[in-house]
Amino acid sequence: MGAFALIGRFGGFGSRDAGNGVRGGDFQEAGDMAEAVFFWIFATILVGSAIAVIVARNPVHSVLFLILAFVCAAGLFMLMGAEFLAMILVVVYVGAVAVLFLFIVMLLDVDFARMKQGFVQYLPVGLLFSFVVGAELVWVVSGWAVSPKAAAAATPSGTISNTAALGLVLYTRYFYFFQAAGMILLTAMIGAIVITLQHKAGVKRQDIGAQVARTPETAVELRKVPSRVGI
C-alpha cells in the first residue's frame, strides 16, 4: 500500500517551484495533468526496458535497453525539478559508462544458445534472491516517509537554482566526503593504469618530441654508393 502512495505522490507532483525547470512558468497552466501523463509514460517505459534488459536474448540489445532505462530515469528526475541530476545521469551514465559497456559487449563473441543453457538450473536460486530483495524493498518503501525537516530543507530558498543549492551543500557540509570520494576514484584510476601499463622490451615507442625536433641535418644522410656494391 505504501508503494502505491509513493507513486501517487510522484504522479500528482504539481508543486514545481518557479526557479526550476522551464522558466516563465509556462507549464503552470498546462498543469498537473501533463506532468502526470509524462510521469506514467516515463515510468512505464522505464519498467518495461528494465525488464527487457534481463529478458533480451542479445546482450547488445540488453545494453541498449539499459540506456533507454537511464534516459527514462533522467526524464523522471526532470519531472521532479531535479534538472541537474537528470543531466548528470545522462552525461555520466549514458554518455560515458554505457558507451563503454556497449563497446565491450559489442566485441564479445558470445554463443547465445550456450549462454542460455543453465537458465532453468539457476532459476530457483535467482527466484530466491529476487524474492528476498523484493521483500526488503517493499518493507523499506512501505515504512518510508518524508520527514518534515527534509521537505523544508529540500525546497531551495528563494531564487537559488537547484544546481546552486546542490553545490552549496556538497562543497560546504559534505566537503570532506566529497573529497574522500574523489580520492578513492583517483586511487582506482591510478590502480587500473598501474595494472595495465606494461613497458615491454623491444616494442618501438613513439617519441613525439624527438620527431618534432628532427631537422634535415639530423634526418637525412648523404652517402656515396659504390656501383655494384651497395651500402
Partner 1 sequence: MSSATPTRPDSSSSILAIVGAILAVAAIVVVGLLWFLVSGGYFAAFGRWLYTSDAGSALRYILVSLAMLVPVLLSTAVLIYLERKIWGSVHLRRGPNVVGPWGVLQAFADFGKFIIKEPVIPASANKGVFLMAPLVSVVLAFAGWAVVPVSDGWVVADINVGILYLFAVSSLGVYGIIMAGWASNSKYPLLSALRSAAQMVSYEVSIGFVIVTVLLCAGSLNLSDIVRAQDTRFGFLGWYWLPLMPMFIIFFVSALAETNRPPFDLTEAESELVAGYMVEYSASLFLLQFLTELVAVLLMSSMTAILFLGGWLSPLPFAPFTWVPGVVWFLIKAWSVVFCFSMVKAFVPRYRFDQLMRLGWKVFLPISLFMVVLVAAVLEFTGLGAHVSG
Q: Tell me if 106 contacts partner 1 by CB under 8 A.
A: yes
> Which residues have C-beta within 8 Å of that of residue 135, sequence separation ≥ 6?
none
Q: How far apart are CA 133 and CA 36, in angstroms?
A: 28
- Terminal alpha carbon distance of the chain: 90
Phi/psi of residue 56, nearest 5 degrees: -55, 140
Neighbours of 81 (CB within 10 A): 19
Q: How far apart are CA 164 and CA 167, in angstroms?
A: 5
Q: Tell me if 152 contacts partner 1 by CB under 8 A.
A: no
Q: Which of 6, 36, 52, 60 binds partner 1 (CB under 8 A)?
A: 60
Q: Tell me if 88 contacts partner 1 by CB under 8 A.
A: yes
Q: Which of 7, 51, 91, 145 binds partner 1 (CB under 8 A)?
A: 91
Q: Tell me if 160 contacts partner 1 by CB under 8 A.
A: yes
48 closest CA partner among 68, 75, 74: 68
Instruction: Give the cell for residue 41.
Output: 509514460
Contact range with partner 1 by CB under 8 A, out of 102-110, 116-124, 147-155, 182-190:
102-110
Which CB sits closer to partner 1, 109 or 217?
Answer: 109
Which CB sits closer to partner 1, 106 or 127?
Answer: 106
State the minimum distance, in angstroms, from the CB of residue 125 to partner 1: 32
Q: How far apart are CA 177 and CA 84, in angstroms?
A: 20
Where does this chain bind partner 1 (CB under 8 A)? 19-24, 26-27, 29-31, 33-34, 58, 60-61, 64, 67, 83-84, 87-88, 90-91, 94-96, 99-100, 102-103, 106-107, 156-157, 160-165, 167-168, 206, 208
